[in-house]
């Protein structure tokens, strides 16, 4: 028996019929919320992540202020490379910066498989406190970056549109790349199991840069490691895979046994369904930039999106993270329009 007052998300992931479609937004905790920006003035990014009271407050803000059907723990995918021994800085206005990235085999000696309770225990503490504070209002989502996406940052050292250095590393030093991917995978499995133990109800694997790879390279450099993670979590916690832009591999992603697959706005839901098959929940796929539209347009576009998923095994979400410039009332209108939608 679930203790949750609202378990729409979990029931939808299990493929059960629900009274309405659940809704949350990727990157919903943060940037566009004025109360978050106030905390940002006072505390550094890692202080916000590493102080359970702050992480909890930020995690719950969109539940209370926007009305989403799930909370996602406030943290970052780059806490994993940090726990493995790489320095990660968050540069204001620029994003992540890793001053000593991995460039060759000998750099792997600087990395280790961490004891996750020791190095990432603060995330588990934040999950425990958030779970307690939520008091069953909505499910709590944990997350991690996919090994490929983490490799991108660990090798490139910063954000990039193409991650050309990371790709060159994989294509010229494949043995080293696979050793690194395996280290990230082993760490991620321990980390996500820890998140489940600390109270996460479901975990999402963010492969933000999966779409940079062709189908064979996606299989070789990304999906084979995601498959290991999903298999290791099979009897522990439900998983959602979000590999942005990697449509051609939806069939392979569905075959991992993950309960949910995220899709972005560049694929029609009907085609995603055809590729993924009937036995998985699809999540998405509103273009985040469309939240800049006037509210009546957002409401109309939400109806179009909902109709395109035809009510089957669907979690409404954006096709990628919410943008910092979105007005809060537009985010609220998106969530409310999903909640108001009925097929009958
Ligand atoms: O304080 C700030 O505003 C700094 C911006 C910020 C925030 C709010 C960063 C730096 N990380 C986060 C939090 C974060 N990151 C969450 C928390 C929950 C939430 O916001 O709802 C999550 C789920 C992430 C995940 C994340 N981090 C991803 C995957 C999702 C995606 O957007 O593709 C990625 C790629 C990152 C790396 C990262 N961390 C921060 C930034 C600005 C970035 C992106 C850098 C880039 O564009 O390459």
Burial (Cβ within 10 Å: 0-12, 13-18, ≥19) of residue 281: buried
**Which residue, judged by its Cα, is nearest atom 1 of ligand 1?**
45
Q: Which pLDDT score, from 0 to 100, does residue 344 have?
A: 59
Dist. CA 298 → ligand 1 center (Å): 24
Average pLDDT, the chain: 97
Report in angstroms the alpha-carbon separations of 101 from 45, 46, 156, 209, 344.
20, 19, 7, 18, 54
**Using an 8 Å Cβ cutoff, are 86 and 112 in contact?**
no
> Which ligand 1 atom lies nearest to the CA of residue 75?
17
**Which residue, judged by its Cα, is nearest atom 36 of ligand 1?**
77
> Which ligand 1 atom lies nearest to the CA of residue 45?
1
Ligand 1 lined by 54 (C-beta under 6 Å): no
- Split the chain (344 residues) into runs of 10 and give each run's mean pLDDT: 86 96 96 93 96 97 97 98 98 94 98 98 98 98 98 98 98 98 98 98 98 98 98 98 97 98 98 97 98 98 96 94 97 98 78
**Which residue, judged by its Cα, is nearest atom 43 of ligand 1?**
95
65-106 pLDDT per residue, tens: 999 999 999 999 999 999 999 999 999 889 999 999 999 999
Q: How many CB atoms lie within 10 A of CB 319?
A: 23
Could you give the count of Cα atoms lying within 13 Å of 178 in the half-sphere of its Cβ? Answer: 10
Q: Which pLDDT score, from 0 to 100, does residue 93 have?
A: 87
**Which residue, judged by its Cα, is nearest atom 11 of ligand 1?**
76
115-144 pLDDT per residue, tens: 999 999 999 999 999 999 999 999 999 999
Q: Which pLDDT score, from 0 to 100, does residue 3 have?
A: 84
Q: Which pLDDT score, from 0 to 100, does residue 30 have?
A: 85
Dist. CA 16 → ligand 1 center (Å): 31
> Which ligand 1 atom lies nearest to the CA of residue 49?
13
Q: How many CB atoms lie within 10 A of CB 299?
A: 16
Ligand 1 lined by 90 (C-beta under 6 Å): yes
**Which residue, judged by its Cα, is nearest atom 28 of ligand 1?**
77
- Considering Cα of 331, then 28, then 149, then 92, what sign does the dihedral take? positive
Dist. CA 95 → ligand 1 center (Å): 8
Q: What is 8-340's CATH topology?
A: TIM Barrel (3.20.20)
Ligand 1 lined by 158 (C-beta under 6 Å): no
**Which residue, judged by its Cα, is nearest atom 44 of ligand 1?**
95
71-72 and 89-91 beta bridge pairing: unpaired
Q: Output b/e per residue, 151-178; b: 16+ Cβ within 10 A.
A: bbbbbbbbeeeebebbbebbeebeebbe
Ligand 1 lined by 71 (C-beta under 6 Å): no
**Using an 8 Å Cβ cutoff, are 118 and 60 in contact?**
no
Q: Could you tell me where the DSSP H helices lie in the chain?
A: 8-13, 34-42, 45-50, 52-65, 79-83, 116-119, 121-134, 147-156, 164-172, 174-197, 215-217, 224-233, 250-254, 269-276, 295-309, 328-340
**Which residue, judged by its Cα, is nearest atom 42 of ligand 1?**
95
Ligand 1 lined by 228 (C-beta under 6 Å): no
**Which residue, judged by its Cα, is nearest atom 13 of ligand 1?**
76
Q: Which pLDDT score, from 0 to 100, does residue 1 have?
A: 38
């Amino acid at each position: 028996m679930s203790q949750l007052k609202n378990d729409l998300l979990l029931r939808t992931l299990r493929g059960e019929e629900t009274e309405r479609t659940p809704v949350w937004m990727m990157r919903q905790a943060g940037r566009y919320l004025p109360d978050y920006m106030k905390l940002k003035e006072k505390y550094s990014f890692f202080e916000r992540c590493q102080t359970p009271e702050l992480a909890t407050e930020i995690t719950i803000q969109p539940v209370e202020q926007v009305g989403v059907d799930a909370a996602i723990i406030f943290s970052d995918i780059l806490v994993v490379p940090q726990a493995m021994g790489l320095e990660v800085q968050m540069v204001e206005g620029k994003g992540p910066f890793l001053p000593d990235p991995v460039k060759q085999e000998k750099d792997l000696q600087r990395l280790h498989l961490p004891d996750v309770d020791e190095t990432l225990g603060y995330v588990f503490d934040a999950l425990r406190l958030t779970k307690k504070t939520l008091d069953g209002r909505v499910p709590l989502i944990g997350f991690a970056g996919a090994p490929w996406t983490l490799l991108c940052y660990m090798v490139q050292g910063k954000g990039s549109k193409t991650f050309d250095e990371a790709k060159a590393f994989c294509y010229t030093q494949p043995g080293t790349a696979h050793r690194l991917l395996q280290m990230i995978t082993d760490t991620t499995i321990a980390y996500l199991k820890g998140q489940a133990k600390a109270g996460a109800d479901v975990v999402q694997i963010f492969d933000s840069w999966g779409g940079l790879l062709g189908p064979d390279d996606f299989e070789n450099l990304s999906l084979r490691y995601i498959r290991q993670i999903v298999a290791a979590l099979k009897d522990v916690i439900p998983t959602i895979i979000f590999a942005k832009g990697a449509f051609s591999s939806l069939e392979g992603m569905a075959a991992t046994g993950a309960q949910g697959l995220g899709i972005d706005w560049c694929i029609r839901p009907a085609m995603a369904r055809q590729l993924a098959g009937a036995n998985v929940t699809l999540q998405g796929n509103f273009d985040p930039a469309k939240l800049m539209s006037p509210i009546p347009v957002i409401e109309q576009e939400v109806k179009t999106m909902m109709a395109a998923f035809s009510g089957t095994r669907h979690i409404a979400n954006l096709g990628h993270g919410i943008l910092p410039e979105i007005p809060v009332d537009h985010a609220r209108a998106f969530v409310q329009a999903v909640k108001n939608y009925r097929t009958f």
